[in-house]
Structure 1
Amino acid sequence: MDAALELFWKHGYEGTSMAMLTESIGVNVASLYAAFGNKESLFVQCVERYSELNGDLYHESLKKKTAREVACSILEGEVELVTRRGTPNGCLMIQGALTTSPAAEKIRQMMARMRNTAEKWMSARFRQAIAEGDLPSDADPAALACYLMTLNSGLAVQAKSGVGKKQLLKVIQISMRGWPLLPARSYVSARRDSGA
């Protein structure tokens, strides 16, 4: 499974052939089908495995105290993931099936739904932040979530292109300069109300 995951991660769904899979796993086509089903089924299982290995990125980040900390944690976690030594550069969830032939449309849609789910989690967390006075009342939770997902996608593409961790972390610093801030009075009030 991990050998197949690495291939899909490196080459994407359609860029990974059955011949590559059988050679990497060390089985013939019949054995691969018997063990995992068809290529589509194997890819789905690899995506599930990828999520098991890396799913904490969002779950742990969303628990951070402030929306800004949530955003930084998600972005920095993405950089850690897409530049991790011993794994392919880039992100399977973003690059695994971003564009496909009509024959693989089902896979493309599945991956899009999974990315949309993460975006919805972020949007809900930012709505909570507005209610708690941690974000300005006129902040747009859905747009902020889309902003982060767009940055994550860009970070993954840049890592795949060979941009290193240090440079990508600088990109995060620049991007966070545009994060919505509370007016000074609201910030002081929010800290006083929270007992800070």
Structure 2
Amino acid sequence: METQRKAPIGRPRGFDVDEALEQAMRVFWEQGYEGASLTDLTSAMGITRTSMYAAFGNKEDLFRKALERYTEGPASYGARALQEPTARRVATALLNGSVWATTRPGCPAGCFGVQASLAAGDPGRNAREALITWRNEAISLLRDRFRQAVDEGDLAPGTDPGLLARYIMTVANGIAVQAASGATAEDLQLVADMALRGWPPA
């Protein structure tokens, strides 16, 4: 008599975790942390709430994972920009990347890191603080790169690396807000170009 085979322990999930996270990222990107309901998220991910909790944790955990995915994906132009050989080329790559990432066809308009924090009330405090940390880290990395440029003589000795970094990031964030409001890539590229016209001399 044939014995019944037992189901394997640790059965693999019946969905693509990577694709589910991609969809969650897009929902948060488009709707913000508070605007994205669990129903919106699970519907886009194609999974049940139980599966979402098992794979990603609660909504806040999922948001943090989605932010990491955004940083390593659509926003990866920031890390690449820091590798440019001159400070001006760093700033140019960063602003051009912001225009590209916030107006790219097939993706939500604007920036995940800006959109997701707008109009966030008390329930979204932790998500908002995570985004503040995320943006501050970006400014710190840019400040350090500009400080290196001053040390190397690529920027004038009197240049304030922190102020220059905050200026460039403020323009980049402004580009993202304008993109979310419907501004075109062409118009925003003109803004990026204008911001660089007053670049401090070496």
Whichever residue aligns with residue 128 of structure 2, its letter is: R
Q: What is the DSSP-based 3-state SS (H/G/I as helix, E as strand, rest coil) of the residue aligned with 2:110?
A: coil
**CA–CA separation in structure 2 for the residues paired with 1:181 and 1:112:** 31
Contact kept? 1:67, 1:129, Cα under 8 Å = yes
Structure 2's unaligned 5+ residue stretches are 1-20
Query: What TM-score, normalized by structure 2, do the two folds share?
Result: 0.86
What's the CA shift for 1:100?
Answer: 1.6
Identity of aligned pairs, percent? 42
1:52 paired with 2:57, answer: no
Cα displacement string for residues 124-155 of structure 1 (whole angstroms, at most 9, x for unaligned residues): 11111111111111111000000011001100
Partner of 2:170: 150
User: Map of 1:78-117 to 2, 5 A cutoff?
Assistant: 78-117=98-137
Cα displacement string for residues 60-102 of structure 1 (whole angstroms, at most 9, x for unaligned residues): 2111121111100100011110011111010101221244212
**CA–CA separation in structure 1 for the residues paired with 2:106 and 2:112:** 15
**CA–CA separation in structure 2 for the residues paired with 1:117 and 1:94:** 14
1:124 paired with 2:144, answer: yes
**CA–CA separation in structure 2 for the residues paired with 1:79 and 1:157:** 11
Structure 1's consecutive aligned runs of 4 or more residues displaced over 3 angstroms after TM superposition are none
What's the CA shift for 1:22?
Answer: 2.0
Relative to total residues, which structure has the larger helix share, 1 or 2? 1
1:140 paired with 2:184, answer: no
Contact kept? 2:75, 2:101, Cα under 8 Å = no
Whichever residue aligns with residue 16 of structure 1, its letter is: A
**CA–CA separation in structure 2 for the residues paired with 1:64 and 1:28:** 44
**CA–CA separation in structure 2 for the residues paired with 1:17 and 1:49:** 19
Whichever residue aligns with residue 42 of structure 1, its letter is: L
1:164 paired with 2:180, answer: no
Contact kept? 1:99, 1:108, Cα under 8 Å = no
Equivalent residue pairs, number: 182
1:174 paired with 2:194, answer: yes
